[in-house]
């Protein structure tokens, strides 16, 4: 038996030994793989933490909006900054109105210069700048409704308005909401607020406006609050499509949290959630009256997906800083006045 075992052992082929170089190479490959996997995992953890903090910020803001609306004499669902009601002067100019006001509903003063062009012209959105002071922290309505607890570990109240993933607008030619010279700059530093509100409206001279979205409306007049998108990470509003297009295709931009055609948003019921962008349509929801009877022109103002809406249908529109019904009709020329959004429109903010 022993000799048989010896014969088998001697007749077996020898296993080749692993050299020290091969062993070190193997260990090196495994180490590199572990590092790559580890860094990717750590990045994913950071992204998820950032996304969670952003949603938490939006929920705090949502609660503050509810308090603001309850105390506001005209129950505005989105606070109206003083610049909205100015009819003349430097503060009405296209640059300030278009590129600062959508962020001026709340937040802090800016600390980074807002460049108007590539030659150095610009201003600071804070108390030290003669122009930018009009939009400084003290002028922002919701800032006073976000109070911090000195005994908690919560961030400074102003930081509620800062998305931790805020890197500003990308240098992408498809972006039409920000000057090219101001892209690539974090919005919280430049404008004091990372989160942009929806301004789904028609604009006219003298800072006049007619809103067919949530802006300018009383909270109690809106329906489908869980679908009414109020504000969020600003690239959401670019993903929706080019503003000038009547039926825009989604723009496949990557949001601040690393996903294409998706980012965080706040809704009128104070809920905040991850929101995917689809092609906007003219649908109506089951709990709404059908829009089939609307004229084609008026129906074109329905901008919604299966998950959210930008328009306020069936709630009538809202006039902002207008003098007369004729001025409203001039703003909305081409739309039937006997139908939504012009029929029985709200006038919560008449011209001062």
Contacts of 237 by beta carbon, 8 Å cutoff, 6+ apart: 177, 196, 198
Chain segment 112-147, per-residue pLDDT in tens: 999 988 887 888 999 999 888 889 998 999 987 885
pLDDT reading at 316 higher than 50? yes
pLDDT of 77 strictly over 90 = yes
**Residue predicted with more confidence, 87 or 4:** 87
- Let me know if 110 is exposed, middle or buried by CB neighbors in 10 A (0-12, 13-18, 19+): buried
- Could you give the C-alpha distances from 87 to 19, 90, 126, 312, 329, in angstroms and in order? 83, 10, 22, 26, 19
The larger pLDDT score, comparing residue 324 to residue 221, is at 221
CB 294 within 8 A of CB 195: no
Cα separation, 350 vs 323, in Å, equals 7
Tokens found for residue 254:
């990557």
Tokens of 219: 């909270």
Q: Return the structure tokens found at 37.
A: 């996997």
User: Model-level pTM?
Assistant: 0.85
Confidence (pLDDT) at 149: 45
Question: 31 near 39, Cβ under 8 Å?
Answer: no
Of 91-105, 277-291, 324-338, the poorest mean pLDDT is in 91-105
Average pLDDT rounded to a whole number, residues 195-220: 91
Report which of 159, 136, 134, 164 is spatially closest to residue 146, judged by C-alpha positions. 159
Least confident of 13-17, 19-23, 32-36, 233-237: 13-17
Is 91's pLDDT higher than 70? no
Average pLDDT of the residues in 47-55? 90
Q: CB-based contacts of 13: which residues, under 8 Å, 6+ apart?
A: none
Among the residue ranges 12-21, 40-49, 166-175, 317-326, the one predicted with the least confidence is 12-21
The mean pLDDT of the chain is 85
CB 58 within 8 A of CB 197: no
- Could you tell me how many residues make up the chain? 352
Q: Note the pLDDT of residue 207.
A: 80
pLDDT band at 204 (very low <50, low <70, confident <90, very high): confident
User: Is there a contact between 207 and 93 (Cβ–Cβ < 8 Å)?
Assistant: no
Rounded Cα distance between 5 and 19, Å, is 29
């Amino acid at each position: 038996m022993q000799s048989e075992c010896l014969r088998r052992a001697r007749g077996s082929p020898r296993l080749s030994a692993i050299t020290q170089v091969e062993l070190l190479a193997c260990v090196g490959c495994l180490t590199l793989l572990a590092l790559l996997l580890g860094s990717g995992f750590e990045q994913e953890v950071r992204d998820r933490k950032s996304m969670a903090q952003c949603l938490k910020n939006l929920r705090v803001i949502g609660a503050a909006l509810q308090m603001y609306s309850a105390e506001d004499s005209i129950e505005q669902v989105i606070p109206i900054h003083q610049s909205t009601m100015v009819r003349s002067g430097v503060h009405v100019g296209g640059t300030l109105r278009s590129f600062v006001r959508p962020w001026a509903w709340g937040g802090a003063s800016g600390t980074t210069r807002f460049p108007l062009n590539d030659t150095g012209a610009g201003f600071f959105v804070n108390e030290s700048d003669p122009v930018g002071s009009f939009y400084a922290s003290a002028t922002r309505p919701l800032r006073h409704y976000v109070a911090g607890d000195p005994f908690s570990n919560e961030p400074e109240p102003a930081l509620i308005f800062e998305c931790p993933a805020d890197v500003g607008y990308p240098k992408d030619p498809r972006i039409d909401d920000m000057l090219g010279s101001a892209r690539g700059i974090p919005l919280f530093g430049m404008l004091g607020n990372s989160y942009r509100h929806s301004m789904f409206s028609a604009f006219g001279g003298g800072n006049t406006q007619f809103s067919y979205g949530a802006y300018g409306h009383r909270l109690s007049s809106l329906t489908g609050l869980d679908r009414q998108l109020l504000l969020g990470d600003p690239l959401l509003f670019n993903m929706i499509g080019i503003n000038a297009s009547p039926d825009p295709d989604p723009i496949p931009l990557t949001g601040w949290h690393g996903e294409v055609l998706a980012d965080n948003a706040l809704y009128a019921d104070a809920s905040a959630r991850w929101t995917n962008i689809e092609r906007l349509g003219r649908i109506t929801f089951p709990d709404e009256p059908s829009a089939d009877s609307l004229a084609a022109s008026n129906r074109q103002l329905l901008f919604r997906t299966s998950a959210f809406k930008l328009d306020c249908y069936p709630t009538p529109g809202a006039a902002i800083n207008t003098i007369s019904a004729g001025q409203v009709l001039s703003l909305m020329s081409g739309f039937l006045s006997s139908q939504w959004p012009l029929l029985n429109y709200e006038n919560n903010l008449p011209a001062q």
